[in-house]
Structure 1
């Protein structure tokens, strides 16, 4: 063990002693290696190898060498750019180099490549470099590297397509590192600050702004506010509808405070321009440098118009929304409901669908017809919501709404009769939206018709609408339209109310602002000074967007313009060849082909452009400045006068042929011949120019005629559409009436069937009753016969007293003169042993009172009732006390009479005459009953 320990200690000692030597050896070898590396010259390597070298110093040196090589290239087609265009991935390593020092130079090399390499290099390297730039370049700790990164982004916008660059940058806004998002937002702010919204479309950025305000990092939210304020400087209030509703109220309040600081600032101007804009500006400067005195005198109205910033419209920023597919299928049923609440709810739902900055074109015919019908609604809440829907629909469709204008404009203007201000304001806003979607000429016919309306509210609101149209239109009204407006305004000056007179003066003053005081003068002739003063006040305060350019005053041509400097020397001027003598009318057009231009003779530089090129393109000559057109017209007129014969030679002057003396004229002092003016045009060209002028006049007149016809046809179409709508309503009403009549007819038929069934049942019952009555009648006859036979057997011989009484009663029954009290008497007596004797019966006087003829006549309707009554009055004879009910008083006889007759007629012995009388009465009754039944004819 001791030996082992000694060996280990010896080794450790030797190791400690050798450590300085080994370190020295290492230093020597490392220094030699460094010297070897220093001896190697990396500058001889190609740029591509140095860009990919593992040593950062070599890469840094390569980046610096690339910058120097790019700066000395003559153009973008130099061979030095070729390897970098073919292998664009090299710039990915340069923009995102791992070494910060090398990355700084790599970003500088990328900027030089974009600056001198042109569009091709930017397009090919864009997809490789944008991500390293916003991940490592914009977040670099070195200020120079960060500045180079921002400059590279701006150069990509300047050289490449801005939309494509923004599309590559936007993914950085969803990066997981907040510092990358904040740096990217700062880069977007600088892009819009330098290039503006006309070069870089802000739609894509506005869509992601609400997500930025929901980020957890405060630096990201702060940079988002800076970007929003920068966009507000360009877009103003037009940007709010795109994202404002998605922000929280606190965020909206904070932004409003920031907007107040820049709201009063003028619209910013573009500070940095793209390559295309730079080329255009250079061409304009070159053109201005080479322009002559005539071009310098032209008004610069076009340039001023271009420099004037145009208002940004939210319609251009928003994406179109397909609202037609979102309208519910129950809309038509709800809008035609009889309850106003359901109609208003349907319109509210439609308003929420249409409430978007831009709508996609679709089929809105049914919707517009429903809105036009709602304008006639009795409920003003429904009318107000319908007007709001029209406003949103017209604002969202713009030009696509023009085909619906004729259906909705007239009903809205008719509804202006409403006195409530909220309704008229909603209708006015809707009409303004329709006007902005169409043109002034399209709406003029409806406006002129409503200016003579009998309702003062309609007339007053129409005046206000016409004034708003004149102020907002960008097209100067045509001559006939100016005349219509001026006549209508002059007529309003004679109205009885101050409001109408002021409205007429405002219309005339606004029109004067558009066409000028000189053009408005003829329409104001005949007006008194008070009215002219009022019109002049409105003229001074009116603000319009369309102004007619006044025609320049024609003056003599400038003599200095005849000669121009070309290359520091005066251009030689040649006299124009006079027209041939054999052509007496050089100004008339010839049917032959055009004469070839004279290319050998030099012409003026100012008139060279208006030679045959001007004849081939007459539209281009109309775009020239007014001063140039006037000078050209004057020169042409002078040439025509010099080429045509003098009017005095043909007797059209003061003296004519008769004023000339026939004598030989005296010698006159020789005068130099007039020098003809050279305009570079031959006779054929002048004739063709005159042809083109006449053709232009004909085309203008044809255009005016077609415009008037178009207006007339539009009015007819509107009337026909209104008539069609009215016919549809009438047809619907007629169909509903027909359906109601059919329903009533079906009900009547049903009731008729029920009544027929009841009649049939009643008829069957009647037949059954007749059969029953006939059966009862036969039974009663048989029973009476049986009773009669029984009565003959029971009767004894008649007594004298009975014989004495019977003749009078018998004669009464036979003659039919019985009194009401005389009825058939039935008497009976009871023996001591209880047996009853046959009562003495007489035929009732009531039955004998009916003659057979009367009974036959009454056998129809009340025959049955009479037969039943007779059966009740005359019960069968021979009833006993055991088998029959007690005797009841006869019909028409009181109790006292019946009791008296029974007592008086009672007797134990009845007379045979009484029996004979009863027998004859029974026979008469039997005959009468047979006559009633139709068995035999009655015997008298």
Structure 2
């Protein structure tokens, strides 16, 4: 008889999970799966085994037997579903094992359970760690592994959307996937691109198309036609589920017709992701030419245009790294005043690119460029006008109304009519896009200037001013506009009324008051008196209900600002939270409205409470007035501080100039001192030379005197010898002649003297006054005189040079 198979069920569960027989392991996985599903809570003891030893999970889901592996993955899904937040601790150990073996399995059930386990890990925690573990599989050698990993990433984005899953993780991998040799991988990449495009919108094209081939772009464009709106994710994170449950618990019983969907989750799901947040910031300042400031001031307009075209190419990127662009903006603002229209156009386009690249950080540069841009709005050439208007719109889109208001009011009174017209048109565009009513200070200034120029001599100016007035009336409402209408001449009112009827604005006082909806059951409960609730009553959704100036209870939700999806969308201006330039969101209702509104709000309110409420309202109004005054004074102080900062910068540059000049002067003085010392040394040397020459001259004079004395003695000797009638020998005659002359310095002179002596021997001598005279044709005497004259001339030159050096 065959031996009966032993009963392994009596073994401990830990031993069965690692048993060598695959059937035993499978039964252990199935038992764990059943325990997880039947557990009373996430603190049940059955979860502790895998929580203590995540390595057991990794061994189970990588079982060599495919049947056991499938049972282990089923147990893992139940473990994550019922184990609560504690199971997320096993992510780093389990997820790499799933990516390594489970996703590339040939069994559909195994692959499906692997994907379910990854989705549960994302729901319990976050998506980024799981996707990062899958990305290495996209570089595997096996095309099946790459295709399975791509399909898994696609399922993750379909389930949770781009609000939960960072789209950049997948976008960085798409170019390599489209270039893969396997057709299945390229198909899965196409499906992933369609999913991402449905969430990101046109921003996907701007980020991916530049790195793809034309044929790939064409295929994607065809696939995008099937996209129908922004999809709604099928799963949300557990943290979002908890937040949604908290919101539902806080809603009072009276509000029965309010949608229970989490507004934050809903907005994230329905709005495409901004591609600006996905793009990498580009550092553009180091790419600018080193001599940019000099080249834009070149006398040749072609050189100025060339350098601006080069700069614009560097700024034409999705996102620019935020740095200090103050100096660059000052140079570009000067270029806006250039006489060449092409230079102006390129400068305005560069401002637009910079504003779109840094967005909200551009606000601090608006005050530098807004004036030159309005000044150049006089140009009527379409290309120039479009570039300047785009730059002006960018200034408003990425700044506050306070930065735009003062320059516009100033240029509305410009001496050039075309500038007045364009300033009005730009102001109208800004007013139409304001989400809230501007404060009374700004309204008074705008209306007064516009009314003042209604009597302008040109029709276009009058029309532009009328449009400003009509737009402000539409924003303020009929009641608040009466104080300005009374100052307008009747002959202008027909035009203003016509523009008023056609004006469309986002901020309006007339539609600001909206009452919350109430059901019939709520009306029946009014007799029971007010009932406390944990939340404020929710108003009916209205575009103008946000920050209603006449509403006593602010709405929970209002129209959210539109997100920027393209570079040239003026309506997508990002607004600051708590913008001090607007007062519509805090202004209390008028005092004369309080008696009518109070009974509706609190029918059982006592007279003392009503009086207290009235006093509080009065105090609130006074506080709001003081706040407006403080805001105005704060703006003035900020403007003064900016001017002081500019003056400080100018003074600092002046000090730097003086320092550089002082340094150059000190260097020049040092060089002059060195030259002076050298000249003094030359003077001392010249003086020494003069002294030596003087000594030589004195010695020469002494020698001449001695020679004259010797000559006289020799003459006397010669006369005595003649008396004795002794013949004179030639040698004696030569000796005497040499004694009468200077000592010859060269052999040639000696030879000449010897020849002259021989001639003297043969000549006849004559006696005159008792003395014999020598032959006057002797050259030695002439040469001696010439040498003496040359020596004296040289001495005089040295004296003159000494006098010149002394005068210096």
**TM category, shorter:** 0.5 to 0.7
In the TM superposition, residue 399 of structure 1 has moved relative to its aligned partner by 2.4
Of residues 164, 172, 178, the one that matches 2:137 is 172
Aligned pair in 2 of structure 1 residues 456, 157: CA closer, same or farther (>3 Å)? farther
In 2: Cα distance, 1:558 partner to 1:473 partner: 34
> Is 1:132–2:97 an aligned residue pair?
yes
1:181, distance to aligned residue in structure 2 (A)? 1.9
Are 2:292 and 1:331 aligned? yes
1:36 aligns with 2:5: yes
The 3-state SS of whatever aligns with 2:230 is coil
Q: 1:701 to 1:559 in 2, by over 3 A?
A: farther
Mark the CA change 1:460 to 1:529 in structure 2 (over 3 Å): closer, same or farther: closer
- Match for residue 361 of structure 1? 322
* Distance in 1 of aligned mates of 2:358 and 2:78: 47
| Aligned pairs (5 A) from 1:243-642 | 243-262=208-227, 265-288=228-251, 290-292=252-254, 295-296=255-256, 307=267, 309-310=270-271, 312-487=273-448, 499-500=460-461, 503-504=464-465, 506-507=467-468, 510-511=471-472, 514=475, 530-531=494-495, 534-539=498-503, 542=504, 544=506, 546=507, 550-552=511-513, 605-606=531-532, 623=554
41, 44, 55: which one aligns with 1:75: 41
Listed one character per residue, the Cα deviations across residues 860-882 of structure 1 (whole Å, up to 9, x for unaligned) are xxxxxxxxxxxxxxxxxxxxxxx
Which of 206, 230, 242 pairs up with 2:207?
242
Per-residue displacement from partner, 1:345-364 (whole Å, max 9, x unpaired)?
33333323333322232221
Verify the 8 A CA contact 1:324 1:363 in the aligned structure 2: no
Partners of 1:105 and 1:267 in 2: how far apart? 37
Question: What CA distance in whole angstroms lies between the structure 2 residues aligned with 1:691 and 1:359?
Answer: 52
Matching residue within 68, 78, 83 for 1:117? 83
- How far 1:536 sits from its partner (Å)? 4.5
1:45 and 1:496, CA in 2 relative to 1: closer, same or farther beyond 3 A? farther
Query: What's the CA shift for 1:699?
Result: 3.5
User: 2:373 aligns to what SS in structure 1?
Assistant: helix
Tell me the C-alpha RMSD between the 2 structures: 4.5
Q: Distance in 1 between matches of 2:112 and 2:555?
A: 47
Shift of 1:719: 6.7
Please give the alpha-carbon distance, in whole angstroms, between the structure 2 residues aligned to 1:340 and 1:321. 29
Change (3 A) 1:77 1:724: same
Report the secondary structure of 1:74's partner residue.
coil
Q: What is the SS of the residue equivalent to 2:16?
A: helix
Aligned residues of 2:315 and 2:353 also touching (Cα < 8 A): yes
* Structure-2 change in CA distance of 1:125 and 1:402 (3 Å): same
Alignment partner of 1:198: what SS?
A: coil
Shift of 1:508: 5.1
**1:66 alignment partner, one of 12, 20, 32:** 32
Distance 1:46 1:469, change over 3 A: farther
**Structure showing greater Rg:** 1
Q: In structure 2, what is the Cα distance between the partners aligned to 1:398 and 1:51?
A: 58
1:771-782 aligned within 5 A:
none
| Contact 1:234–1:268 under 8 Å retained in 2 | yes
Contact 1:509 1:538 in 2 (8 A): no
Aligned partner of 2:629 in structure 1 is: 705
TM-score, normalised via structure 2 length: 0.66
Is the Cα contact below 8 Å between 1:451 and 1:459 reproduced in 2?
yes
Provide the C-alpha distance between the structure 2 equivalents of 1:624 and 1:554, rounded to a whole number of angstroms: 10
CA deviation map 1:240-273 (0-9, x unaligned): 33333222223223222323443xx322233321
| TM, length-normalised to structure 1 | 0.57
8 A Cα contact 2:317 2:357, kept in partner: yes
For structure 2, the 5+ residue unaligned runs are 537-550, 558-587, 663-808
Is the 1:159–1:275 contact (alpha carbons within 8 Å) kept by the matching residues of 2?
A: yes
The CA distance in 1 between the partners of 2:52 and 2:241, in whole Å, is 27
Q: Is the 8 A contact 2:329 2:369 kept in 1?
A: yes
Structure 1: 5+ residue runs without aligned partners? Answer: 1-27, 574-603, 611-619, 641-675, 739-940
Q: Shift of residue 202 of structure 1?
A: 1.0
Query: Offset of 1:507 from its aligned partner?
Result: 4.3
Classify 1:451/1:302 alpha carbon distance in 2 versus 1 (closer, same or farther; 3 Å): farther
| 2:585 alignment counterpart | none
Q: Deviations over 1:638-694 (max 9, x none)?
A: 799xxxxxxxxxxxxxxxxxxxxxxxxxxxxxxxxxxx9855x997x8898677645
Q: Is the 8 A contact 2:335 2:347 kept in 1?
A: yes
Given candidates 191, 201, 219, the residue that maps to 1:226 is 191
Within 1, Cα distance between the matches of 2:211 and 2:514?
58
* Structure-1 residue corresponding to 2:174: 209
CA contact (8 A) 1:344 1:381 kept: yes
In structure 1, which of residues 88, 99, 108 is the aligned counterpart of residue 74 of structure 2? 108
The question of whether the paired residues in 2 share the 8 Å contact of 1:182 and 1:223 is answered with yes
Residues 682, 634 of structure 1: alpha-carbon distance in 2 compared, 3 angstrom cutoff: closer
Following the alignment from structure 2 to structure 1, what is the Cα–Cα distance between the partners of residues 391 and 600? Answer: 57
Which position in structure 2 is the counterpart of 1:762?
Answer: none
Q: What is the CA–CA distance in structure 2 between the aligned matches of 1:508 and 1:105, rounded to whole Å?
A: 75
Alpha-carbon shift at residue 191 of structure 1 (Å): 2.0
State the 1:551 CA deviation: 5.0
Change (3 A) 1:112 1:223: same
413-422 or 93-102, larger mean C-alpha shift: 93-102
